[in-house]
Every structure is written in structure tokens, then in C-alpha cells.
Structure 1
Amino acid sequence: MEQNREKHSIALMCRVYSVTRDGYNSWHRRGISARRTEDSELFEMISMIFKRHNGCYGSPKIMQELRKIGIGVGQKRVARIMREHGLTATKARIYISRPGLYKHVNRVPCRIADIELRAPNQLWVGDVTYLKMQDGSWQYLSVIMDRFSRRIISWSLSERRDAQLTVSALQRAVRNRGHHEELIFHSDRGVEYMANDYRKKLGHYGISQSMNRAKSMNDNAFMESFFQQFKTERIKRVVLESVEQLRGIITEYMRYYNYERSHSSIGYLSPHEFESRISC
């Protein structure tokens, strides 16, 4: 009886789709096409890469990751497979802040307009962002990036947004990378970067200070972009219950960002890989 029902269902389907019974039987004997089999295998690899990077890699970066392990595949095919399986990368939205301008800031010029970056430790950029805890309190994160390689070279976390926070990040950056001749540090026009303690510390290390031009917040767009990526890829996914938990998240992300996360602007390499190739 079951066999008769199956035959009836097949016959009905053939009539609906205008397919002959012989044609259906021929298709059924062939089984799944080689192309579909390859797509299925590719999806397994794509899914693994997508999950490893917390759903933040789109088809261009996944294609590059596949090519790194010897799988030659085009971006359109990766995009199609992702679309068919509902894999959509999380995208960061960049919000440009508009802090008040201070007259005394005009004494600090923007020194980065014509700089040509050829190696690490020519230009460091820094910024501060805020992170809201579950209990309603705030933690402030100061980060310094090497603009050449996009590598995060130091960070500092505090419940207060002041010069002590940014000085701490600067001291760690110098411990990690040293201080170099003609090194420039660039930031926005925040008071924590204009504080005497911070400027004295820059002078002590022989680092030239640079700040955004008035009404030109894009001068520090790389740091804005980094913070949005960090919040999108890690912070928005968790409830921040303690400072210890937050420090663990930051530590893990900085390692991931420097050693694993690829960047299209440096040839789909991680900052560590990019610096290693330059030094060879």
C-alpha cells in the first residue's frame, strides 16, 4: 500500500511539473550532482569560518580564508552559498561623535595629512570609548593603534575618563613598542589628551602630538571604526556583569584582532601577519 502511495505521489508531481516518469527516474538514479556535493562541502568550511569569527565575516573575507587553506573559490559562489543558508555577516555602524571644541586645542596641529606610512611606529592613533555595565555604571576604554599595520599596541580600562587613563595606555604602548624618532601620536580633541600630564608624557618620550582638525572627525576614523567593530563583534553579544568579565573579553578580543582577524586594507592579513611580512 505504501508503495502504491509513493507511485501515486510521484505521478502527481510529474504532472504538476510537466516531467515525464522516465525523466524523473533518470534524475533519481543520477543522485545529487557533483556541483551540489561540492557546495555542501564548501558550506561546511564556510560555516566553520563564519562561526570562528562570530558571524562577522562576509563573503570577501571568507573567500580569502578559504584561499589561505588552498581552496580556490570565487566570492560570488561563497556569497550564494551563504545566502542559501541564511548566513549574513554582522555589520558595524560608525557613528561620528561631535565633542565641543576648545580654543587652546588650536595650538596642536594635525600632522597626519601628508604623512606616508612605510613601517610600524611612525604613527600611533588613540581614542577613548565608554562601555555600560549591567548595574548602570560605566567603564572607559583607552586604546592605541599603530596606524601602519592596524595593530592594537596597548589599552587601559578605568571607571574614570581622565588623563590618568590615557597616560596609562601611552606608558604601556611605549613598554610594548619603545619610543621612536619622529613618532607621531594622533587623537581627537578630547580633554584627556589635552591635559598637561598627558602632553608632558608625550614630550618626555619625544613623541610629537597631533589632533583632529576642527570639524574633521574623520581624521581619526580608524579608531572610530575599531571601537564599532569591537562593540559589534563582542560587547553587544553579552551582558557585562563585572569588570573582571569585561577585562577578559577585551583581552581575548585584542589577541583575536591582532593575530587572527583579517583586514581588507592590508591584503586580508592580520596585523601580526602584516608586520611579520614587512620585517622579513
Structure 2
Amino acid sequence: MDQHKEERGLNRCLEAIGLPKSTYYYRRSHSDEPSEEEQKLMNCVREIIGEHPGYGYRRILPELEERTSQRVNHKRLRRLLNEHELGLARQASGHRPSPVQEILGDAAGDLNLVADLDPDPLEAFSTDFTELKYAGGSRKAYLMAVVDLGSKYVPGWAVGPSGNRKLAMRCWEQVRERLTSLGEELDEKIIHHDLDSVYTSYRWLRAILFSDEMRISYSENGAKGNPWIESLWGRTKAEIGSRITEASSLPALRTVFDERFRYYNRERRHSSIGQVSPREHLGQTLDVLESEPQIAAAS
């Protein structure tokens, strides 16, 4: 960062390596070596844990203040316990499943709605994230795309530094806009994916189930239960792998995939749909996409 920020700009450097600005400034303002005061404090904490291995931070705190004769903020103590990995071993695994996880657990075995489906075009879609290595393999990004099971058409995609909800919603906004431009209603269509935390999050479920009134389908055996998107990843990386690796920045990588999926949708022949392109398979209804908006590039 220090070598390149003056020439490239701090924001561009942070985006390139996927580092939040808050983390950058935190690291700059905190030395890797603990202070003498902190070392003494942690030695005392270790003594307390050795004598009382069942103590959590609430019981450690008064004991620590009594032994050191100084006030210690509870947030500081919790941070130190985490940083020195002293709190994890004593904490019981009391994680309780979220309501969504409980519902999905109760419905196990019936979550996959597309396993035996022979869908019409634009009836059911598959999606997932895939990791990308670019800048000669030194940097990492994530791609999310949505593919139609019936026509192989890809109505939306997005590239970003993290495979998170923000990237998922960027991709989905593009899907929504493209299908709306085709005059396609989203309600009752199916979106299929794995049980990744993004796809079980409230934000994703609220958008798909309540805003768009679609149906959600889950693969219960990972990639094996989602062959459509895995096939897309395999073909894409095999055909443009060198262009992905050679992309020098995140904007350049986004341009690579904008060009790829335009070609994929309009020109690339697919054996599973009669050796024609998804555009041709769908027919003249895709003429409205002649000037389709480049949401991914703009993002």
C-alpha cells in the first residue's frame, strides 16, 4: 500500500486487494508488538485463566481489576481475549440455529425443486459464486452469475472482491431488470442454489420470496446438486482462463465478463439446445436486449 498509494490512490489500491479502509487505518495505528502495559495485563489474565479455567470475561474482569488495582474496560478485555485466542477454548458451543436454518432443517429432503424438473425457458434458474484469480494469479475476486436451465441464457452476473450479499444483490438487480425488459414476470419462477449463508440470509430471502414472489430451491449435496452453474463455470474458465488471469484490475476483470457473457448469450452454440445460441433458442423475444444495459460494468 505504501509503495503504490501515492501513484494509484488509496481507494483504488484498497479495492484491488479487497481491504476495507477502516481495517487499513486500524492496522496503521496499531503496532504488531503489544505494549509493556498490555503484556503485563495479559500475563495476569493468563494467571487467572490458569487458576479458573471456567471463567469467561465477566468473571475475569473483576478478578483482573482486583489484582492490577486498575480499571479495565470490558470491551478491551474481550478484544484482548480474542486477539490472544484465550476466550475460544473455554466457550461452550452453544450456537443456536437461526429460524431460517431450523425451517430448512425441518424440510431436509424436500428442498430441491428442480431435480426432476424439465423446465421451459425462463422458468427456473441456477446460481452460485466462483472464485477467480487475476493479475497473474496474485489477486482474488468472485463472480456470481445466474443461468436459465431451459435456454442456457445468462440474464445477470457481477464481479467483486468478496462473495457476499452485496455482490449477490448487485447480480440479482441485473437479472430482475433483464427479465422485466423481456416482459417476464418473476413470480412463481424458481431460483436454485446451494445452502451458502448468502442464500439463506434474510436479505436474499426477502428479495426473492417477498419482493419478487419467486420460489427458492436448494441443492442438498453441494455442487453435485447444482450441475447447471458448475457447467457454466467449467466452460467459462476453460475458454477464457487466460484472459481472467491476465486482467490487471477489478474493472478490467468486469470488462472481461461483460464481453464473455454477451458472446455466450448471442453467439456461442450449445449442444444441449440444438447447437444454437441461447438468444436464438429463446427466439425473437430477446430482440429487446439489442441495447441491454451494462449494469455490471457500471458497478
TM (norm. structure 1) is 0.58
CA distance, structure 2, for counterparts of residue 233 and residue 143 of structure 1:
16
Asked whether the 8 Å contact 1:125–1:220 carries over to 2, the reply is: yes
Secondary structure at the aligned position of 1:151 is classed as coil
Distance 1:232 1:200, change over 3 A: same
* Structure 1 ranges of 4+ moved more than 3 A: 102-108
Alignment of 1:86-125 (within 5 A): 104=102, 105-106=104-105, 107=107, 109-118=111-120, 120-125=121-126
Superposition RMSD on alpha carbons, in Å? 2.4
Specify the alignment match of 1:198 in structure 2.
204
Could you say which residue in structure 2 is the equivalent of 1:130?
A: 131
Q: CA deviation at 1:277?
A: 6.6
Query: Is the 8 Å Cα contact of residues 132 and 138 (structure 1) preserved in structure 2?
Result: yes
1:228 is matched with: 234
Q: CA deviation at 1:155?
A: 0.6
Contact 1:132–1:240, Cα closer than 8 Å, also in 2: no
Aligned residue for 1:219?
A: 225
Distance 2:119 2:203 in 1: 28
Q: Is the 8 A contact 1:142 1:156 kept in 2?
A: yes
Kept in 2, the 8 Å contact 1:258–1:270? The answer is yes
Provide closer, same or farther for how the CA distance between residues 278 and 247 of structure 1 changes in structure 2, counting only shifts above 3 A.
closer
Structure 2 counterparts to residues 1-280 of structure 1, below 5 A: 104=102, 105-106=104-105, 107=107, 109-118=111-120, 120-134=121-135, 136-178=138-180, 179-203=185-209, 204-213=211-220, 215=221, 217-237=223-243, 238-276=245-283
What's the counterpart of residue 74 of structure 1? none
Cα separation, 2, equivalents of 1:234 and 1:145? 18
Q: Distance in 2 between matches of 1:242 and 1:217?
A: 29
C-alpha distance in 1, partners of 2:168/2:251? Answer: 20
One-letter code aligned to 1:188: D
Quickly say closer, same or farther: Cα 1:180–1:103, change in 2 above 3 A.
closer
CA contact (8 A) 2:146 2:155 kept: yes
CA 1:182–1:197 in structure 2 vs 1: closer, same or farther (change >3 Å)? same
Distance 2:216 2:247 in 1: 34
Report deviation, 1:153: 0.3
- The answer for the alignment partner of 1:46 in structure 2 is none
Letter matched to residue 259 of structure 1: R
**How far, CA to CA, are the matches of 2:146 and 2:198 in structure 1?**
14
| Counterpart code for 1:229 | R
Aligned partner of residue 262 in structure 1, secondary structure? coil
Aligned partner letter, 1:250 = F
CA distance in 1, matches of 2:149, 2:190: 10
Contact preservation (8 Å) 1:121, 1:180: no
Q: Identity, % of aligned pairs?
A: 24
C-alpha distance in structure 1 between counterparts of 2:232 and 2:263, whole Å: 13
Three-state SS of the structure 1 residue aligned to 2:178 is: helix
Q: CA–CA distance in 2 between the matches of 1:219 and 1:137?
A: 29
Partners of 2:232 and 2:284 in 1: CA distance: 23
Q: Distance in 2 between matches of 1:113 and 1:230?
A: 24
Counterpart secondary structure, 2:268? coil
